[in-house]
A and B are shown apart, each in its own frame.
Chain A
Amino acid sequence: MRGIVLVSLILGTAVSGIPPDEHAMDLPIEIRRWYFNPDGSCVQCSIGMCGADQDVPAAATLLWDTEYGPAERGGSYPERVARYCRSRGIRAYNITGERTFDWMRWAASTGRGAAIGAGRAHFQTLVGHDPKTGTWHVCNNNSPDRIDTYDEEAFRKLHLASGRWVVILDYPPHPARPAYHKWW
């Protein structure tokens, strides 16, 4: 085990972050459609997608009445997110201000999605980021069937239009979809 950890540390430093051609978030369209924004609940739709991606039922079910808590609908703000995260036992980073871009890069490079301010008074889900090409991939809960792409400048404008606010779930990212390969 010690050997594995050592090799992991050596290689881990050589290769950092998930490959840029792979989206951090991996949700099929059928699941993304569950988070179509019906009533101005964009923040909860965005966090819910992250919950489904990271298998956090308390977050994935934000929009509905379940044993995890009552449905959270309508517009939101950081204090409200903190309140329902606490009441549902959801671990999350609730970030506002200057460092939101650092956090979004961190989320994408570690395989996590993020609920982000994107568009005027709107929240969307960060799906991935390719640092080599400066491309950001975002899923809008008003059009969950597609993933929109933005260059650095367009993405900056998109994020700033809503105000610097990001919510990232503090749970491990999902594994790649497992498949059998003959490795031996």
Chain B
Amino acid sequence: MSKNKKIWIAVAAAVGLLIAIVAIARSDEVDRDAVLRCGDMVQHISGYGQSATDRFVEAMAPPKDDSGKWYISVIGSSRSQTCARLKDDWARDANLLAIANPGDPSRSWAHWHYYHYGDKSQAWRFEKVKITHIPTVIVQPPRDGSYGDPSTVVCQLVGYNGDAASLAAKIRGSIRAYVAKLKTVQPPATNTGRLTPPWTPAPKVDPPLDEEDDSAPVHRIFPDIDIPSDIDVQVGFPWREIMTFFTVGFTIPAVIALVIWIVVIVRNWRKETGRKLYLSDETFGSVIKMLEDFAGRFDPKPEEPEEEKPKVVSRSKPRSTRKKATKKKTTG
């Protein structure tokens, strides 16, 4: 056998061996026979334990489209009492559960995520926003684009003092304000020894909490504008007071009602046009309430109806109780 022939045979054998090794290695990655044995199967692994859905079932349709859900992202730390409290409250409080149900994503109105502050596998998501406090709650529109640019921060809330209702109201208020303005929206590892991930994953079980209580009332840091939590001051046109001008003449309650109406109209106009408001919604609401109370003092009090006196029937002889009792016994 010539030298060249020997070389070619050696090369061919080496190539053949290489192909065989690659083929064997690749065929190990997915056990195709096992896949074929499963047939038509949708197995829903619901976390822990064996459930009925873990058994082989007939083909099951995919769940409904949930791309139209809003997003609530909570950025917290496992070492913060406030974050732990917020997480717990969100799993229990009816006001927060109505917005997002962390324990039951399929029934949740919004998609809810709890991101651990400093988790490198997720930190890049928040590069365009400033996370200065924890817990931070970020509200975003759905990714299907039905409410404008899905990257838009509808509101960024920080702090939590256990007032879940207030937090829920602030989220609702922000979503309501955003929806109202929607038309203007511009729009490598080694396998030797212990295998450690290339980042520190979020803890499975939250470690013991710091002693310090870092709770603070919820406040909005974005957008930095005055958004009513839930209730706008609404005052209707003072028809009754106007009528009193024509009938009785000028009265203090009528003048106050007219002033309130004009002030509310002006304030709502300033709010809509983005002008500066001199009073917060809460202060404004209490001023209006005070004026209304003041006006109420001048209202004539309606006359109280006289109590109807029980009729006293005079009898010459008292009725015999014994006789009546006897009668009752017989009819009973």
Contacts and interface: CB of A to CB of B under 8 A. Distances in A.
B302 interface: no
Most buried by A among B39, B67, B122, B128: B67
Most buried by B among A36, A85, A97: A97
Interface residues of A, number: 93
Q: How large is the interface on B (under 10, 10 to 19, 20 to 34, 35 or more residues)?
A: 35 or more
A93 B127 contact: no
Interface string B63-88: 10111111101000000000000000
B128 A178 contact: yes
B38 A96 contact: yes
Contacts of A95: 41-43
Nearest to A4: B175
Nearest to A30: B124
Contact of B65 (A90, A109, A163, A181): A109
Contact of B144 (A17, A58, A78, A170): A17
Interface stretch (B5-13, B198-206, B260-268, B291-299): B198-206
Contacts of B161: none
A164 B18 CA distance: 28
Given A38-B191, A58-B204, A173-B143, 19 more contacts: A4-B175, A12-B142, A15-B68, A16-B65, A22-B143, A42-B30, A66-B201, A74-B28, A77-B34, A93-B44, A99-B60, A111-B67, A123-B29, A165-B38, A170-B46, A172-B112, A175-B111, A175-B140, A179-B151
21 contacts: A1-B172, A8-B147, A18-B144, A19-B145, A38-B188, A38-B190, A42-B30, A57-B121, A65-B196, A68-B201, A78-B41, A82-B54, A89-B47, A94-B41, A96-B35, A96-B40, A117-B35, A173-B111, A175-B125, A179-B152, A183-B178
